[in-house]
Amino acid sequence: MEQTPRMQWPYPTAEDDPWFDTYEDQLNAADASGYAHREDRHAILAEGGIITWDSGTGVLAWAGSIAVTSPITGFLWQVPTGNETIAEGETLYVVLNRGPGQNTNVATAVSSTVPSTDNAFALATRIGTRVYWRNGLKMENGDSLTNLGSGQGGGASTDLRTAPIIVGNTGAGDTTDNADYLDTGNGAQLSVALAAAAADTEVFVRPGTYDLGVVGSPTSPLTVPVGVRVRGAGKTSVVIRTKASADMGAFVVGTDAAIVDLGVEVSLPTGAGSGSVDVVLLNGDRALAERVRVTYLGSYGAPQAGNLAIRRSFGISNNIDDPMIMDPEVISAPSLRANGVGADLLGVTILGGTVDKGHMARIIRPVLDGGDWGIDVLNKALIVDPVINTPYMGGITVDAQGGSSEIRGGLVRNEAVVGVWIGVRLLNAVDRVMVSAIHVLSSGFPASSVGILVDNTVSQCRFLGANVFGLETGLSLTATTTKNVALLNVLASNSTPVLDVGILNDKAHNVTT
């Protein structure tokens, strides 16, 4: 009986008699190979959990079962959790049972050559320091993927993105193979990349810590030029750490520029601060900060609070049209006043000046923990669904030029039971402010606390749905210069007095409920 040279299919010789048995063997061999080819053509790799590659040790590991689909029969071949050591030029493969009638576990093997059989199925091959999976994924040294098919590896970090400009971090194992600018962790090359970026360019920052307070760090804060978008690999993966003295600012964001998906750590002051009063400053029209987390490190006492020059976690400059801060977080902000400093630390401040008609700042879904005040509005603003926990002074103030602002929904609370505390305050001739569907709560009935305070010369303001609970005074509206205020569906409870409304329903002031 003869065999083909590559596939080893049998076939009858010219002298075979009878020849049909051999011919039937040939057809069965061709059928098995053809079916294997059909299954392979439809097979898809999936799952695997956290998959890691270390070219130094040669270990490729997967924390979950790898699934290989067999769509023809509707079952899976499953590669159990495990790892293999793969040398240069070797291939990871399994041997399949064709046409499975149930989900079936298959074992892995590694070899420089894959067996030339219908049932051998290559999964991945090592070439140099990289591993190439059957489905096209590439893994660099140190890469970590979550499930096969989730994205493309690029280097030691866990992000899987591409961008016109990529900044890597040597501390996370990045190399020039996967980064255009390679930062040693002091922010210097990040600063160079920002300066080199043209308008309408995205700068992608790979995971790692970029400490602006170590040797070789650039001038603080980092400037994001006009039209440049800085995108991090995530607010827990990318950390920009400020200096511990002198200028402790992190970013100044210009016109049409943005910072997205990154974290900022404010170092515990070890010396006198100076310069920036904002950790993040939006300093141009249509500037954007989105999904940025500001975390204050360490435990504050009077010396640290006295050294801190920062007064705002997020600030918006004067005369800025349409800036936006979306999904910001402030974590563990200290109270300056509680530590003897005669100034406030605020979560978000919208400064005054003139903005074009129809334009306003937008603060969307802020989560602000600690500090003295949550949000201070000195210009037109829309604030949507804030969650604010400020233990010392209060939640939201709308002041002076903050007319035509709107606070829509949210929760303002005080959990620390200290001092004079005000949930929402309107004051200083502010007008045309609408507050709707807001909750103002306290856990401990602070002395001299007020849920909602409508102060001097306020006019044409509307409260459309508010729930005030646990403050010494629920609602205070007593100034004789206040006029044209409407209170609709305002509930104040567990307060004494619930309402301190000395001019309620006074025709001269047109305060109505």
Write out 140-176 in H/E/C secondary structure.
CCCCEEEEECCCCCCCCCCCCCCCCEEEEEHHHCCCC
Tell me the backbone φ, ψ of residue 474, rounded to 5 degrees.
-70, -55
Host H or E run for residue 40: helix 20-42
pLDDT digits over 302-332, tens only?
999 999 999 999 999 998 999 999 999 999 9
Nearest Cα residue to 70 out of 92, 49, 35, 40: 40
The pLDDT value recorded for residue 436 is 93
pLDDT of 505? 46
- When mean pLDDT is compared across 25-34, 142-151, 194-203, the lowest value belongs to 142-151
Provide the mean pLDDT of the chain: 87
Most confidently modeled range among 61-70, 161-170, 489-498, 499-508: 61-70
Give the HSE-up count for residue 160: Cα atoms under 13 Å, Cβ half-sphere.
14
pLDDT digits (tens, 9 = 90+) for 404-454: 899 999 999 987 656 678 999 988 778 888 999 999 988 776 777 888 888
Beta bridge partners of 75: 70
With cut-offs at 50, 70 and 90, classify the pLDDT of residue 15.
confident
- Residue 106: is its pLDDT beyond 60? yes
Judged by DSSP in three states, 42 sits in helix
Residue 507, pLDDT > 50, answer no
In this predicted structure, the answer to whether residue 154 has a pLDDT above a threshold of 50 is no
Per-residue model confidence (pLDDT) at position 210? 98
pLDDT of residue 194: 97
300 closest CA partner among 372, 247, 241 = 372
Own/partner pairs, 193-197, CB within 8 angstroms, 24+ separation = 193/165, 193/167, 194/222, 194/223, 194/224, 194/225, 194/228, 194/230, 195/223, 195/225, 196/165, 197/165, 197/225, 197/228
> 278, 310 in Cβ contact below 8 A?
yes
Ranking 247-261, 309-323, 462-476 by mean pLDDT, the lowest is 462-476
Q: Where are the beta strands (DSSP E) in 56-119?
A: 59-62, 66-70, 75-79, 82-85, 91-95, 104-105, 108-111
In the block, which residue shows the tokens 């219908």? 118
**Would you say 429 and 400 are in contact if contact means Cβ atoms under 8 Å apart?**
yes
Q: What pLDDT was estimated at residue 479?
A: 64
**pLDDT score, position 158:** 45
- DSSP class of residue 337? G
Q: How far apart are CA 56 and CA 336, in angstroms?
A: 50
Rounded-to-integer distance, Cα 168 and Cα 156, Å? 9
Percent share of the chain, pLDDT over 70 = 89
Does 8 score more than 80 pLDDT?
A: no
Both tokens of 4, joined, read 């083909």
Question: Beta strands of 338-392 (E only): which ranges?
Answer: 346-350, 361-364, 367-370, 373-377, 381-384, 387-389
Three-class DSSP category at 485:
strand
pLDDT value at residue 189: 97
pLDDT given for residue 350 in this prediction: 87
Residue 293 is inside which H or E element, if any? strand 288-296
Tokens read off for 487:
């209170």
Phi, psi values for residue 436, rounded to 5°: -140, 145
pLDDT the model gives residue 27: 81
What tokens appear for 323 in the block?
């800036």
Determine the pLDDT at residue 1: 67
Q: Is the pLDDT of residue 513 over 70?
A: no
Q: What is the mean pLDDT of residues 57-67?
A: 92
DSSP characters for 235-287? TTTEEEEPPSSB----EEE-TT-EEEEEEEEEPPPSS-B-S-SEEEEE-STT-
Q: What pLDDT is attached to residue 356?
A: 60
How many separate helices (H) and strands (E) can be counted in the chain? 3, 45
The token pair that represents 311 in the structure block: 């007064």
CB 454 within 8 A of CB 426: yes
Top-confidence residue, 486 or 425: 425
Which phi and psi angles does 239 have, rounded to 5°? -125, 120
Instruction: Answer for the pair 309, 275: CB distance below 8 angstroms, yes or no.
Output: yes
Q: Is the pLDDT of residue 496 over 70?
A: no
How far apart are the C-alpha atoms of 66 and 79, rounded to whole Å?
A: 5
Indicate the residue type of 141.
N
- Kindly tell me if the per-residue pLDDT of 345 is higher than 90: yes
Using pLDDT thresholds of 50, 70 and 90, give the confidence band for residue 132.
very high
DSSP state of 334: P
Q: What is the pTM assigned to this prediction?
A: 0.69
59-88 burial, b at 16+ Cβ within 10 Å, e below that, comes to ebbbebbbbbbbeeeeebbbbeeeebebee
User: Highest mean pLDDT: which of 32-41, 288-297, 389-398, 401-410?
Assistant: 288-297
Residue 21: count other Cβ atoms within 10 Å of its Cβ: 12
